[in-house]
Structure 1
Amino acid sequence: MRLVQVLIPEGTRESVVATLDEQGIDYAIFDEVGRGDFEAMVQFPVPPSGVEPILDELTVAGVQEDAYTIVLPTETVVSRRLSGLVERFPGLRISRDELYARAQDLAPANSTFFAFLLLSTVIATTGLLLDSAATIIGAMVVAPLMGPAVAASVGTILDDRDMTARGIRLQVTGLLAAIATAAVLGWLLQQTVLIAPGLDIRAVPQVAERTSPNFLSLFLALGSGIAGAISIMRGSGSTLVGVAIAVALVPPAATSGLGIAFGLPGVAIAGAVLVIVNLLAINLSALILFYLAGFKPLDAGKYEGIRSSVASRVVTIVVAITVLSLVLGTVTLTTYQTQAFERQTEALIEQEFEAADVEGVVLVGVSVDYQPVDRLLGDEPVVDVLVGIPRDLEAPPDLAQRFDDQLTERLGQDVIVRVGFIEAQVSDGEPPSSPLGDRSATTTRPSVVRLPTH
């Protein structure tokens, strides 16, 4: 419920009161003695979704923009007479004036915005290098990116070009600053003993997750934008939603910066593409939701112009997302293909060992080194096979080549196979009790006999 307080300009008291009576609003009027421009103040309770239509009616009755209107949230309103208003104005959507005020509040001063964003980037970069999901989530609590994202969409819907421009400017410059901060921090850390000299950040799972973006990342961004719009319209959960929006933007920005610092253009580009796609998706979903919710410009005469403006902006964003989604689609497809290749390779190797059924020979493990970028660049996958073999059995000298030929024929793709042998002893049954205690009877001596490579 909202409590609305309106100063009634001189000469409009009767029309304002008549309008409130027609709308079935319970109100209280107090004489205004502070200024000569107003003759009274009226206050009345109304559901959130009723604020905007009632204020529109009061505008027609003579309450212009230069009058003072205050909308206050209320904890509790005790009255049996409000049931009719609640039925008349169902829903929880706030008025456009409240939406405008909240969007302004969520976009902090430039100094505050950049301070929190840079601190968030430092924490997120540290979390990426530490492979710590908890640290990355903690960084997202600090990131102030929800405000600019919401402000850009609200400014577009309400035809406030200054708000729109500031929201877009803060998002773009903020994320560029985040990438630069991560790059500088990554370079500085390389000059210390805090990072191993030969660290390959592509092997860090939290970094690798952002260097292979797929369509699931797009759903995260769309969901975050919709959640941000709903939280503003309903006035709930904005802090947690801000974390979701930051998760979609700051970690990939930090990943892009680390790619620059470590001289890995592939990582830098992949992170930057993910940032841009997520940024566009967040703004698109919020813009569409605000429009579908029925918000209109403060100046009703600009509504038709806003419809065409929103339509053109939506088309532009959709085209940009579609173009960039080609990258996401390519990564998604190649990821699926490389994972399918890995599963097929492991299954074929296991089938070969089961079919051979050589006593004492066991398949210890199979690993496939084949990344989406390898498929895109045409690099051959590397298959490592580790075999346990008894000491008295001679290892086949051409096993790697045989595996290579079989995999190439069955999978239709050239591969590189490496086979490693270890001496193994496998018991026939339950081990007898011994002074050594209850231990496994399987003994492995990690002595590599040979590693033929093709």
Structure 2
Amino acid sequence: MLHLRLIIPADRTKAVISAIESTVGTTHLVVLPGAAREPLGDVVLCDVAREAGDELLNELRGLGIEEDGSIAVENIDLSLSRRAEAAEEEAPGEAADAVLWEQLTEATHEESTLTFTYVAFMILATMIAACGVVLDNAILIVGAMAVGPEFGPLAGVCTGVVQRRPRLALRSLGALLIGFALAIVATTVFSLGMDAIGQFNAEMLEQPRPNTGFIWRPDPLSFVVSLLAGMAGVLSLTSAKSGALVGVAISVTTVPAGANAAVALGYGDFAQMWGSAEQLLLNLCGIMLAGVLTLYGQKALWRTQRGRWARRPKT
């Protein structure tokens, strides 16, 4: 269930209440006339089944509530109410399959903004991965994958394409490319500094690396894994199962590929550098392709479920 807190101009309260009451899957409606002070208006509270949330939010936006008032949505972790159970049963489809597109857009907008924190995490993750590739240490590689924040912008690109929001897609793509560019430059400098103090050397990069050599040798399996990871990552975002993102992060070689390219660039090993760049590009494209297709598939699935619900016999 979702909890909605609305601040509504008084002249639109009746229309909002009508929209809530006509939406299947809503309950616990509370109206507080004149309770809001900034902005001035009425406060309306209600709970809605996740399956009906996107439909209700679209109706509220159609009334211009977000322009002159406020729409706040929270996930309800626990609701002990028979009426809430009945509302969830009345709503079409299954909660796990429902996508709150506004929530997804907002989440990806925040995660795909080029901020100091985002760039810092990207640089630190790439530097950790650089230590991993030079030492042929799989543990460091996995740690760097978990630290890397690149899935936020990747999800932003997918959401922007599917929702036809070019500004979101371009901003996310910009954050992704600039983040990786800055991380590779910083890691190249870092690797040269480590070489200067005797911690890195060219032989360490050139020697056989059974644990990390795959990073700069892309193959068809790399693309397959990136497709699977992209699907899993998008599903984890749309279903609010954020814990799955950790598994997604450590299944694709984006940050490690950038790190290997940076170290190879510092030592002038252009074969490894271009191989790593190809691996990085292959993974990024695979994740974005899978993410877009997954979101389109979820849209189609939801339309099908709603159509079946609308055609079911009324009791």
Q: Provide TM-score, normalisation by structure 2.
A: 0.83
Q: May I ask how many residue pairs the two structures share in their alignment? A: 293
Hey, what does 2:292 align to over in structure 1?
A: 287
d(CA) in 2 for partners of 1:182, 1:230: 32
- State whether residues 138 and 212 of structure 2, in contact with CA within 8 Å, keep that contact through their aligned partners in structure 1: no
Paired AA for residue 264 in structure 2: G
Where 2:299 maps in the other structure, the secondary structure is coil
**1:126 paired to 2:131:** yes
Report deviation, 1:49: 2.2
Cα deviation for residue 220 of structure 1 reads 1.7
Please give the per-residue CA displacement for 1:361-394, whole angstroms capped at 9, x wherever unaligned: xxxxxxxxxxxxxxxxxxxxxxxxxxxxxxxxxx
Mark the runs of 5 or more structure 1 residues left unpaired by the alignment: 296-454
Instruction: Call closer, same or farther: CA 1:208–1:21 in 2, change over 3 Å.
Output: closer
CA contact (8 A) 1:182 1:255 kept: no
Residue number among 165, 173, 176 corresponding to 1:171 in the alignment: 176
- 1:34-85 Cα shifts (integer Å, max 9, x gaps): 449754222111122211112233455x454313111011121122123332
C-alpha separation between the residues in 1 aligned to 2:82 and 2:101?
A: 28
The verdict on how the C-alpha distance between 1:184 and 1:35 changes in structure 2, with shifts beyond 3 A counting, is closer
Flag the structure with higher helix content.
2
Q: In structure 1, what is the Cα distance between the partners aligned to 2:117 and 2:296?
A: 30
The reply on whether 1:7 has 2:7 as its aligned counterpart is: yes
Report the equivalent of 2:303: none
2:73 is paired with a residue whose SS is: strand
Please say if 1:187 is aligned against 2:192.
yes
User: What aligned pairs does 1:347-386 form with structure 2 within 5 A after superposition?
Assistant: none
**Deviation of residue 108 (structure 1)?**
5.1
Determine the C-alpha separation between the residues in 2 that align with 1:172 and 1:41.
Answer: 43
Mapped partners of 1:191, 1:13: distance in 2: 69
Larger deviation: 82-91 or 270-279? 82-91
Q: 1:398-417 maps to which residues of 2 (within 5 A)?
A: none
Which residue number corresponds to residue 340 of structure 1? none
| 8 Å contact kept, 1:145–1:171 | yes
Deviation at 1:144, TM superposition (A): 1.1
Once residues 174 and 6 of structure 2 are traced to their aligned partners in structure 1, the CA distance between those partners, rounded to angstroms, is 35
Q: Which has the higher contact order (CA 8 A, sep 6+)?
A: 2
Amino acid in structure 2 at the alignment position of 1:244 = I
The 3-state SS of whatever aligns with 1:205 is coil
User: What residue number does 1:77 align with?
Assistant: 79
Distance in 1, Cα, partners of 2:184 & 2:143: 18
> CA separation in 2, counterparts of 1:3 and 1:268?
50
- CA deviation string 1:321-361 (max 9, x = no partner): xxxxxxxxxxxxxxxxxxxxxxxxxxxxxxxxxxxxxxxxx
Closer, same or farther: CA 167–53 of 1 in aligned 2, 3 Å:
same
1:222 aligns with 2:227: yes
The equivalent residue for 1:264 is 269
SS at match of 2:254: helix
Between stretches 138-147 and 107-116, larger displacement belongs to 107-116
Alignment check: 8 A CA contact 2:134 2:204 kept: no
1:91 aligns with one of 79, 83, 95: 95
Question: Tell me, what secondary structure is at the counterpart of 1:11?
Answer: helix
Contact preservation (8 Å) 1:144, 1:242: no
Contact between 1:103 and 1:147, CA under 8 Å: does it hold in 2? Answer: yes
Distance 1:184 1:210, change over 3 A: same
Aligned-partner SS, 2:11: coil
TM-score w.r.t. structure 1 length? 0.59
In 2, distance between residues paired with 1:290 and 1:281? 14
Shift of 1:12: 2.6
Q: Shift of the alpha carbon at 1:195?
A: 3.8
Q: CA deviation at 1:105?
A: 3.0
Alignment-mate amino acid for residue 58 of structure 2: D
Is the 2:104–2:237 contact (alpha carbons within 8 Å) kept by the matching residues of 1?
yes
Q: What is the DSSP-based 3-state SS (H/G/I as helix, E as strand, rest coil) of the residue aligned with 1:45?
A: strand
| CA spacing shift, 1:127–1:197, aligned 2, 3 Å | closer
Report the AA paired with residue 68 of structure 1. S
CA distance in 2, matches of 1:198, 1:267: 13
Cα displacement (A) at 1:143: 1.2
Amino acid at match of 1:10: A
Cα 1:39–1:197, aligned 2, differ >3 Å: closer, same or farther?
A: closer
Q: Which structure has the larger Rg?
A: 1
Hey, what's the Cα distance between the residues in 1 that align with 2:200 and 2:15? 73
Checking the alignment, whether the CA contact within 8 Å between 2:232 and 2:248 is kept in structure 1 is: no
Partner of 1:276: 281
Which residue does the alignment assign to 1:244? 250
Shift of 1:109: 4.8
1: distance between equivalents of 2:204 and 2:13?
75
Match of 1:65 in 2: 66
Is the CA contact 1:7–1:68 (under 8 Å) kept in the aligned structure 2?
yes
Contact 2:31 2:42 in 1 (8 A): yes
The one-letter amino acid paired with 2:250 is A
Distance in 2 separating the partners of 1:283 and 1:57: 30
In structure 2, what is the equivalent of residue 107 of structure 1? 112
Seq. identity, % = 22
Partner of 1:302: none
Candidates 133, 140, 143, aligned match of 1:138: 143
Q: CA deviation at 1:239?
A: 4.5
| Post-superposition offset of 1:156 | 2.5
Contact 1:99 1:233 in 2 (8 A): yes
**Does the Cα contact within 8 Å between 1:8 and 1:63 map onto a contact in 2?**
no
Letter in 1 for 2:101: R
